[in-house]
């Protein structure tokens, strides 16, 4: 079995390069930081990638220097005598020229500045997601077809880390809002096992909820206040176990004082506070409670569609593959049960309306095999048609087979790495935006050389890292106009700024 130490650099066939953070189960699994997330990975799936960077809390190895220390006796005597300490840089030490500061262009567009700051993180600004969707004509076409297809309620967006899955989910969110969908988006955190515990996933979806009604942007609370103000809500949710009483209370609110629901009650509804308030049904935090939260999302979708006249609710779940990277096998199974419940609910599977429930180790649907809460075995859906759509972003080879077994016709959008020509177009557009923002313009030959170096650099293996590296290179040119930016790219950040 492979053995690693904290700080070792490792490589995983699916997740890419990372750094070991710790171990458990006697070294059987290692926690690995892959940049924007960390996962528990079996040791047999990891390969050593060389010397890793030690974490800040680790003791740094002692470095022997021939130059006198700044705390040497000579330095102390000089200070006591009122003399400046002698220069103590080792012979041959690298001396960096002070950076050059430029005056920023007048009237630079705010949108360009926002784009550059987003690029530093390897993403694009949400306000211009469509403008910066480059080389994705086929993928965009599939996603738009999914949005308009009333016969298909679920989609998978598949691709390697950094390929652009999250970008496409955000693009899908923007397009859905324009079509009239309410949108709820969340990512899964492996440290919480949030797919296995649906209440946590629901809490994140509530935070990422947005609905545009009559040109007003509403959050989750504003959405339900708007529903309560419409006369038709009783026909849709008048007998709902949670929202019937909530809407009654909201309807009693004064226009300005709004005393209808207390903050504690809102926290309960949004899964932030205690699981139970008074005589209301409990919002349990067990892994067997996927039916409760699918039911709530179903009710929200129908309220959007049948009460507010919207298209429905689109649920977007990023990094869904981490549902399988959990400590216990049952957590992976319960996470997939939640996903299956969402897919069947979104596809208006009529078996969810009246299937027999069988009690064994857990309560399960006799036909669907879905797990129901023993404390509250409410149906997964509140009605058909449900007006719910759901899209998952995940890496290849993780949960696709499970999704296909749930629904053979599920929409699958494959996100491939951008081609050289597509990356070149993206590179040139970033350069133009950087010039607009900071007044830094590369001549065409230098721009072409820099692109080739970035495109072929071993450390740049995804669209995300490519975008970040372009900004790093342009920042270098901005502050060190006489430095060797090409050498900086080749050496991974050690450019000649002397």
Question: Over the stretch 416-450, which tens digit does the pLDDT of each residue have?
Answer: 888 899 999 999 999 999 999 999 999 999 999 99
For the entire predicted model, the pTM comes to 0.76
74 compared with 416, residue with greater pLDDT: 416
pLDDT given for residue 69 in this prediction: 44
Mean pLDDT of 58-76: 46
495 compared with 24, residue with greater pLDDT: 24
Q: Is the pLDDT of residue 487 over 70?
A: yes
Three-state secondary structure readout of the chain: CCCCCCCCEEEECCCEEEEEEEEEHHHCEEEEECCCCEEEEEHHHEEECCCCCCCCCCCCCCCCCCCCCCCCHHHHHHHHCCCCCCCCCCCCCCCCCCCCCCCCCCCCCHHHHHHHHHHCCCCCCHHHCCCCCCCCHHHHHHHHHHHHCCCCCEEEEECCCCCCHHHHHHHHHHHHHHHCEEEEEEECCCCCCCCCCHHHHHHHHHHCEEEEECCEEECHHHHHHHHHCCCCHHHHHCCCCCHHHHHHHHHCCCCCCCCCCCHHHHHHHCCCCCCCCCCCCCCCCCCCCHHHHHHHHHHHHHHHHHHCCCCEEEEEEECHHHHHCCCCHHHHHHHHHHHHHHHHHHCCCCHHHHCCEEECCCEEECCCCCEECCCCCCCCCCCCCCCEEEEEEECCCCCHHHHHHHCCCCEEEECCCCCHHHHHHHHHHHHHHHHHHHCCCCCHHHHHHHHHHHHHCCCCCCHHHHHHHHHHHHHHHHHCCCCEHHHHHHCCCCCECC
Which of 122-131, 274-283, 327-336 shows the lowest mean pLDDT across its residues?
274-283
CB 225, CB 307: distance < 8 Å: no
Structure tokens at 112: 């360009």
The most confident of the ranges 76-80, 206-210, 406-410 is 206-210
Mean pLDDT of 469-488: 90
In the chain, where the domains are located: 9-48, 97-122+418-498, 136-348+379-414
361 CB contacts (<8 Å, ≥6 apart)?
none
Question: Over the stretch 183-203, which tens digit does the pLDDT of each residue have?
Answer: 999 988 766 656 788 999 999
Q: Is the pLDDT of residue 56 over 60?
A: no
Helix H or strand E encompassing 40: strand 38-42
Q: Is the pLDDT of residue 279 over 60?
A: no
Average pLDDT over the chain reads 84
Structure tokens at 88: 């103590």
Q: Is the pLDDT of residue 60 over 50?
A: no
How many beta carbons lie within 10 A of that of residue 67, not counting itself? Answer: 12
> Cis peptide before 339, with omega less than 30 degrees from 0?
no
Question: Over the stretch 124-142, which tens digit does the pLDDT of each residue have?
Answer: 888 888 889 988 999 999 9
489 CB contacts (<8 Å, ≥6 apart)?
450, 453, 454, 457, 469, 473, 495
Question: Over the stretch 345-390, which tens digit does the pLDDT of each residue have?
Answer: 999 999 999 999 999 889 999 999 999 999 999 999 999 999 999 9
CB 329, CB 193: distance < 8 Å: no
């Amino acid at each position: 079995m492979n053995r690693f130490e904290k700080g070792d650099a490792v490589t995983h066939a699916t997740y890419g390069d990372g750094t070991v953070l710790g171990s458990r189960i006697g070294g059987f699994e290692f926690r690995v930081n892959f940049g924007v997330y960390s996962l528990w990975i079996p040791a047999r799936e990891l390969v050593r990638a060389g010397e890793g960077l030690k974490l800040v809390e680790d003791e740094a190895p002692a470095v022997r220097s021939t130059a006198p220390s700044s705390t040497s006796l000579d330095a102390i005597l000089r200070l006591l005598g009122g003399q400046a300490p002698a220069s103590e840089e080792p012979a041959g030490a690298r001396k960096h020229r002070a950076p050059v500061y430029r005056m920023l262009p007048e009237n630079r567009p705010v949108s360009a500045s926002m784009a550059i700051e987003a690029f530093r993180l390897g993403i694009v600004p949400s306000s211009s997601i469509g403008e910066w969707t480059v080389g994705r004509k086929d993928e965009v076409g599939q996603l738009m077809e999914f949005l308009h297809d009333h016969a298909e309620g679920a989609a998978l967006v598949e691709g390697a880390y950094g390929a652009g899955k999250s970008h496409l989910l955000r693009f899908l969110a923007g397009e859905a809002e324009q079509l009239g969908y309410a949108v709820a988006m969340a990512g899964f955190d492996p440290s919480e096992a949030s797919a296995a515990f649906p209440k946590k996933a629901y809490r994140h979806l509530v935070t990422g909820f947005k609905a545009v009604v009559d040109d007003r942007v509403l959050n989750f609370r504003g959405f339900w206040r708007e529903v309560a103000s419409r006369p038709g809500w009783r026909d849709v949710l008048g007998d709902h176990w949670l929202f019937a009483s909530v809407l009654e209370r909201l309807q009693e609110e004064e226009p300005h004082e709004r005393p209808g629901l207390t903050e504690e009650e809102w926290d309960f509804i949004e899964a932030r506070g205690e699981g139970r308030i008074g005589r209301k049904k409990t919002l349990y935090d067990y892994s067997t409670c996927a039916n409760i939260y699918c039911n709530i999302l179903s009710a929200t979708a129908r309220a959007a569609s049948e009460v507010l006249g919207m298209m429905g609710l689109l649920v977007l779940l990023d990094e869904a593959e981490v549902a399988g990277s959990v400590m216990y096998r049952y957590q992976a199974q319960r996470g997939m049960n939640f996903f299956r419940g969402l897919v069947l609910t979104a596809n208006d599977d009529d078996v969810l309306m009246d299937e027999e429930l069988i009690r064994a180790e857990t309560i399960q649907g006799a036909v669907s095999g879905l797990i129901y809460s023993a404390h509250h075995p409410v149906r997964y859906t509140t009605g058909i048609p449900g007006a719910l759509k759901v899209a998952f972003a995940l890496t290849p080879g993780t949960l696709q087979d499970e999704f296909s077994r749930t629904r053979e016709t599920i929409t699958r959008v494959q996100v491939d790495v951008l081609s050289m020509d597509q990356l070149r177009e993206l590179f040139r557009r970033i350069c133009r935006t950087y010039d607009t923002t900071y007044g830094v313009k590369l001549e065409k030959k230098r721009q072409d050389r820099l692109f080739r170096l970035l495109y072929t650099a071993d450390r740049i293996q995804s669209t995300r890292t490519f975008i970040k590296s372009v900004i790093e290179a342009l920042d270098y040119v901005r502050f060190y106009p006489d430095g060797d930016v090409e050498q900086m790219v080749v050496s991974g950040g050690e450019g000649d700024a002397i």
